[in-house]
Structure 1
Amino acid sequence: MKTLTALFAAAALTFGTTAAFAKDVQPDQVVKLVNEKTIKSLDELKAAAVAKHPGSTVTDSELEEEYGRYIYKVELRDAQNVEWDVDLDAKTGEVLKDARDS
């Protein structure tokens, strides 16, 4: 039982610290990053996400900074009503994650 408790505690600490390193980027900061060409425009990033699932619509999106890297997270719904989570590197547009939402 002690081992199981320790395992849960370690997992909670791991997940807790991971979340602490991701922070939302505020709208005024987004404009600055785009203007400085630090990240691609949000329209370009959305288009790249939708290109992974043609005909889908964006239901939500946010820009986060994780470990000094800007990640654009997009939630999509396709024509079959399936939801997708697509994460992109906001600087390069590279797709980092493309997973069906469960």
Structure 2
Amino acid sequence: MKTLTALITAAALALGANVAFARDVQPDEVVKLVNAKTIKSLDQLKTTAMAKHPGATVTDSELEDEYGRYIYKVELRDTQNVEWEVALDAKTGEVLKDEQDS
């Protein structure tokens, strides 16, 4: 029983630690990052995400700082009403994830 409790506690701490390292970037900070050329403009990133699913519409987007790396996440709905999540490296525009949202 102690082992199970320790395992659950360790899993909860690890999960909590991962969440703590991802934070939403506020709009005023986004402007500074774009102006400093630290990240691409959100319009450029959104265009890259939408190119993966032509005809799709953006339903949500956010810029997060994950472990010191800026990740732009875009949720899309395609013409067949399928939802997609596309994650991009905000500095390079590289597509990191493109998967159907469940």
**What interval of TM-score do these two structures reach, taking the shorter chain for normalisation?**
over 0.9
Pairwise CA distance, 1:13: 1.3
Aligned CA-pair RMSD: 1.1
Taking structure 2 as the reference length, the TM-score comes to 0.93
Partner of 1:3: 3
1:39-70 deviation per Cα after TM superposition (whole angstroms, max 9, x unaligned): 00000000111111111110000001111110
Partner of 2:79: 79
**How far apart, CA to CA, are the structure 2 residues paired with 1:85 and 1:14?**
24
Greater CA deviation, 33-42 or 3-12?
3-12
Q: Which runs of 5+ in 2 are unaligned?
A: none
1:94 aligned to 2:94? yes
Q: Which runs of 5+ in 1 are unaligned?
A: none
Partner of 1:70: 70
**How far apart, CA to CA, are the structure 2 residues paired with 1:93 and 1:29?**
18
Partner of 1:56: 56
Q: Which amino acid aligns with 1:87?
A: A
**How far apart, CA to CA, are the structure 1 residues paired with 2:32 and 2:50?**
24
Partner of 1:40: 40
Alignment coverage as a number of residue pairs: 102
